[in-house]
Amino acid sequence: MFPAGAIVVAVVLGASAAHAAPSAQSQGHASARAASKGVTAKLETPALWDADDADADDPAIWVDDDDARRSVVITTAKEAGINVYDLRGRLVQHIDPKPAPGEDDAPGRYNNVDLIHDFELDGDEVDLAVVSDKGLDNIGIFAVEDGRLTEVTDPSAGRIFSASQDDVNSEHTAYGLTTWQDDDGAYALVSRNSETDVALLELSAREDGTVGWDLVRTLSLPAEFAMPDGTTWTTCDDPGEYAQVEGMVVDEATGTAYLGQELVGIWKVDADLTGEPQLIDKAIEYGLPGTYDAEQDECVYGENPGFGGDVLHTDIEGLTIYSTGDGEGYLLASSQGDDSFAVYGLEDGNEYVGSFTVDDGRVDSTQHSDGADAVSVSLPGFPGGLLVVQDGDNTPEGSDESSTNFKFVAWKDVARGSGLDLDVARD
């Protein structure tokens, strides 16, 4: 059941431009993409440990227009809340998640974060950090001043997808998030865990100085796809779970949203979720047959028929944009299955440019990267802009524990070191 204003993509799409499905190359699919080349990060944030229920997920880079040295990177750590780091990777602020509403309920879990600039609130223009809360099925909204966050969420704003706490406990709740603005207002796109839904929320200032939201419409991406051989394919996952979206980004210059359906590919659609979504690239594992084995609690995969793309290994995560101005620049997507980042042009057909990896250097390499963010203004120590990526496997060799963190990469190092001859924005 979808709310009023929901849009369901009901057509079953054919071939056009599984959690952690096996490598498609081992399944007989020959990849034709450009070879990945490595760049190195300048620094990293402290490790977050599974043993502490801390899991780095998604970054957002806040640039201080008055003093770039005071710019910060706002990050989510799921059950461990929000961590804010300076440009040296040092923790400067921590925010705990909201407590569980009841004894048998989950606490807050901050998943993705993005920014709104110059939002009119209580007579002033403020920047906002907006985070998705998977545990409570809502979003948290924080005013950003001098690099510090102060919560301004309207406590009565309500849930996004769930009608009751029982619905929340089923965990089909708020998941991925991105924000965007136009002359008419400020918005958030929020995806739904284990479903194909993406909701458009309009943010609005309340008289008491808080910020709430209103649901505008919901888009449902396909959950099944017609294959060239006449079969119908669905992604393999636990029963009742579907091909969710997490990584999302909006190109405000064109009003275009890019949505990463983790086991399927990258879609583009109008940021207001109107019009027909277009699948601009497919995962290599697209069309890979799999059967869920309940006894083993895993999917058993067959041979890859080769209906997928040539670039992206599932999961598809961490979409971000590096803008060079005038609607030009690059869309970056994390290809978790081979630890690389795919680069596409923003113009016209989103032509694939090539891929790169973040390799060992001053700090260790990046694997299974989830969230990412990029800015195209030079910052102290980061000429040409900054790219921040989550490292999903930061664990030191020989450690019995698992850790995650964030890597800071100078865009000029990406442009030069990747071998892709990428442009660098002029400040």
Mean pLDDT of 348-361: 95
pLDDT for res 388: 98
For the stretch 303-330, pLDDT in tens is 999 999 999 999 999 999 999 998 899 9
Residue 15 has pLDDT above 80, yes or no: no
Cβ proximity of 355 and 361 under 8 Å: no
For the stretch 88-131, pLDDT in tens is 999 999 999 999 999 999 999 999 999 999 999 999 999 999 99
| Residue 248 to residue 261: CA distance in whole angstroms | 9
Which tokens in the block code for residue 285?
A: 């594992």
Q: Is residue 63 part of a domain?
A: yes
Residue 397 has pLDDT above 90, yes or no: no
pLDDT for res 5: 60
Top-confidence residue, 421 or 399: 421
Cβ proximity of 342 and 332 under 8 Å: yes
For the chain, the distance separating the N- and C-terminal CA atoms, rounded to the nearest angstrom, is 48
Q: Is residue 1 part of a domain?
A: no
Q: Is residue 424 part of a domain?
A: no
pLDDT for res 24: 42
Per-residue confidence at 238, pLDDT binned at 50, 70, 90?
confident
The burial of 6, by beta-carbon neighbours within 10 Å (0-12 exposed, 13-18 middle, 19 or more buried), is given as middle
Mean pLDDT of 32-57: 86
pLDDT for res 426: 87
Q: Is residue 425 part of a domain?
A: no
- In 3D, which of 116, 117, 59, 114 has the Cα closest to residue 89? 59
Residue 250 has pLDDT above 70, yes or no: yes
Could you give the C-alpha distances from 162 to 77, 228, 380, 381, in angstroms and in order? 23, 37, 43, 44
Q: Is residue 427 part of a domain?
A: no
| Residue 129 to residue 131: CA distance in whole angstroms | 7
pLDDT for res 158: 94
pLDDT for res 37: 80
Residue 75 has pLDDT above 70, yes or no: yes
pLDDT for res 35: 55
pLDDT for res 34: 54
Q: Is residue 247 part of a domain?
A: yes
pLDDT for res 28: 42
| Residue 47 to residue 404: CA distance in whole angstroms | 6
Per-residue confidence at 384, pLDDT binned at 50, 70, 90?
very high
User: Taking the mean position of all CA atoms in its chain, how far away is CA 391?
Assistant: 13
Q: Is residue 23 part of a domain?
A: yes
170 sits in the region (left: phi over 0; alpha: psi -120 to 50; else beta) called alpha
| Residue 128 to residue 401: CA distance in whole angstroms | 35
Domain CATH code at residue 172: 2.120.10.30
- Measured in residues, the chain has a length of 427
Q: Which domain holds residue 239?
A: 6-417
Residue 42 has pLDDT above 60, yes or no: yes
Residue 4 has pLDDT above 80, yes or no: no
pLDDT for res 427: 76
For the stretch 220-233, pLDDT in tens is 999 999 999 999 99
| Residue 73 to residue 82: CA distance in whole angstroms | 11
Long-range contacts of the stretch 287-293 (C-beta < 8 A, 24+): 287/15, 287/225, 287/227, 287/233, 288/18, 288/21, 288/24, 288/27, 289/233, 289/236, 290/18, 290/21, 290/235, 290/236, 291/236, 292/236, 292/237, 292/238, 292/239
Place of tokens 């880079």: 61
Residue 61 has pLDDT above 90, yes or no: yes
Residue 26 has pLDDT above 50, yes or no: no
Q: Is residue 213 part of a domain?
A: yes
Per-residue confidence at 240, pLDDT binned at 50, 70, 90?
confident
- Calculate what percentage of the chain has a pLDDT beyond 90: 85
| Residue 9 to residue 412: CA distance in whole angstroms | 40
pLDDT for res 27: 46
Mean pLDDT of 356-374: 96
How many domains is the chain partitioned into structurally? 1
What's the number of CA atoms in the CB half-sphere (13 Å) around residue 248? 34
Mean pLDDT of the chain, nearest integer: 92
pLDDT for res 401: 78
pLDDT for res 9: 54
Could you give the C-alpha distances from 18 to 128, 202, 283, in angstroms and in order? 35, 32, 10
For the stretch 161-180, pLDDT in tens is 999 999 999 999 999 999 99
Mean pLDDT of 8-36: 45
For the stretch 178-221, pLDDT in tens is 999 999 999 999 999 999 999 999 999 999 999 999 999 999 99
